[in-house]
Amino acid sequence: MKKIKFAILFMILSSTVYAADEKAVAVNTGPGLGLSQSEMLIVILVIFAFVLLFVSITLLNAFKVMYREQLNPTPYSVPVKEPVLDYEAWLGQKKNKPSVWEKLLSLKPIEQEKDLEIDHAYDGIKELNNPVPAWFNVLFFGTVIFAAGYLFYYHIGGYGDLQDQEYVNEMVKAQQEKAAFLEKSSNTIDENSVKFDNTQTVLEEGRGIFNSNCAVCHGDKGQGIIGPNLTDEFWLHGGGINNIFKTIKYGVPDKGMISWEKNLSPKQISAVSNFIMSLKDTKPVGAKAPQGEKYEEKDPQDNEMKSVKDSLSKTDATKE
Ligand code: HEC
């Protein structure tokens, strides 16, 4: 018997080892569980083999029992007759322990009602002394203890924030989340989506960026030094917020204007573009002569964009 079991076990083990070998070679081709078809087949076969093993061992045990019974059968046992009880005897035998339910609700059996009676009667009406159930007491004293703890935590010790403070905290958190969201969304601005915006904060930010990055070439007032005058209405690469944004973002590397995409965030480029828009007609002293062509501004939010290449091939307006 033992030998048969081992033989079966050995067969199955060897087949799983073989399966593991297969797995190593198989290439992952088909979808589903990341297994190839052949791997899938092997897995199914292995499962099948295990089921087969289980069934055969069970059958083996069953046959063993049958075989043993055949050799020396167990004699039938004589059935024991239980004596028939009458109701009173049965009641006496019944466990008189209260059930969990009865304990929980502090229920008393009806037979004990006589003992529960309180010693007074009003107009013949008697009262039973039924104690409060345990669960109710637990709940009641639990709330008392909780209330004491609550009072200490929030009102005496001052460890927790009161409602008003919690409101303030949440508003602050919401403000931070809003700021983070706006920061994120404003960093996705590109030359197509940039908006004309002349609010003070944006212009201030733009002025800061301009002074530290652009003033060397364009002059502190945008009057133009190496770079062209940014205050007139003549533009080499188009005026309007979209064109200016695009020029700053991609630059005109051939002509000495670098691409600022790497150094400035989209939000910063947008701010400095708006700052340049605000320089229009400021007529600073020592302004450089106009370059490029006159830009007819129909609308500050001008989406008609010039390609950098187009404007490069244009000759200077001043030379014409
Ligand atoms: C190294 C010098 C230099 C710096 C720094 C520089 N620029 Fe320029 N910029 C130029 C030159 C040169 C041109 C002209 C390119 C051409 O001739 O096509 C130009 C052109 C421009 C134009 C297009 C003007 C037009 O007429 O179409 C804008 C807008 C501009 N720069 C903005 C900026 C901003 C904003 C910064 C700072 C973030 C900046 N530049 C920094 C040299 C510079």
pLDDT along the chain (320 residues), means of 10: 59 52 46 77 96 97 94 87 82 72 77 82 86 89 96 91 94 93 80 88 93 92 92 90 93 91 91 92 87 75 52 44
Give the tokens for residue 271. Answer: 């701010």
pLDDT of the residue at 316 = 44
Question: CB of 236 closer than 6 A to ligand 1?
Answer: yes
CA of 292 to the centre of ligand 1 (A): 13
Contacts of 26 (CB under 8 A, 6+ apart): 36, 38, 39
Question: CB of 217 closer than 6 A to ligand 1?
Answer: yes
Question: CB of 317 closer than 6 A to ligand 1?
Answer: no
Question: CB of 247 closer than 6 A to ligand 1?
Answer: yes
Per-residue CA distances from 38 to 29, 44, 46, 57, 257 (Å): 10, 10, 12, 28, 61
Question: CB of 255 closer than 6 A to ligand 1?
Answer: yes
CA of 68 to the centre of ligand 1 (A): 102
Nearest C-alpha to atom 32 of ligand 1 is from which residue? 248
CA gap 137, 31 in Å, rounded: 61
CA of 201 to the centre of ligand 1 (A): 23
In terms of CATH, what superfamily is 200-313? Cytochrome c-like domain (1.10.760.10)
- 234 CA: nearest ligand 1 atom: 26
CA gap 244, 227 in Å, rounded: 14
CA gap 43, 47 in Å, rounded: 6
- 209 CA: nearest ligand 1 atom: 38
Query: SS3 sequence, 226-269?
Result: CCCCCCCCEECCCCHHHHHHHHHHHCEHHHCECCCCCCCCHHHH
Which residues pair with residue 117 across a beta bridge? 128
DSSP secondary structure letters along the chain: -HHHHHHHHHHHHHHHHHHHHHHHH----SSSTT--HHHHHHHHHHHHHHHHHHHHHHHHHHHHHHHHHHHSPPPPPPPPPPPPPPHHHHHHHS--SPPHHHHHTT---GGGHHHHEEEEEETTEEEE--PPPHHHHHHHHHHHHHHHHHIIIIIIS--SPPHHHHHHHHHHHHHHHHHHHHHHHHTT--TTT------HHHHHHHHHHHHHHTHHHH-TTS--SSSPPSSSSEESS--HHHHHHHHHHH-BGGGTB---TTTS-HHHHHHHHHHHHHTTT---TTPPPP-SEE---S-SS------HHHHHHSPPTTT-
* Nearest alpha carbon to residue 317 among 228, 236, 254: 236
Question: CB of 222 closer than 6 A to ligand 1?
Answer: no
Q: What are phi and psi of 140, to 5 degrees?
A: -65, -50
Question: CB of 149 closer than 6 A to ligand 1?
Answer: no
CA gap 15, 4 in Å, rounded: 17
CA gap 307, 175 in Å, rounded: 40
pLDDT of the residue at 208 = 94
CA gap 211, 275 in Å, rounded: 11
Per-residue CA distances from 81 to 75, 78, 84 (Å): 18, 9, 9
Question: CB of 276 closer than 6 A to ligand 1?
Answer: yes
- The radius of gyration computed from the CA coordinates of the chain, to the nearest angstrom, equals 46
CA of 227 to the centre of ligand 1 (A): 5
Testing ligand 1's pocket by substitution, the residue of 209, 218, 278, 307 carrying the most ligand atoms inside 8 A of its CB is 218
pLDDT of the residue at 8 = 58
End-to-end CA gap in the chain = 110
Nearest C-alpha to atom 13 of ligand 1 is from which residue? 227
Question: CB of 252 closer than 6 A to ligand 1?
Answer: yes
Domain boundaries along the sequence of the chain: 2-71, 200-313
Query: Which amino acid belongs to residue 48?
Result: F
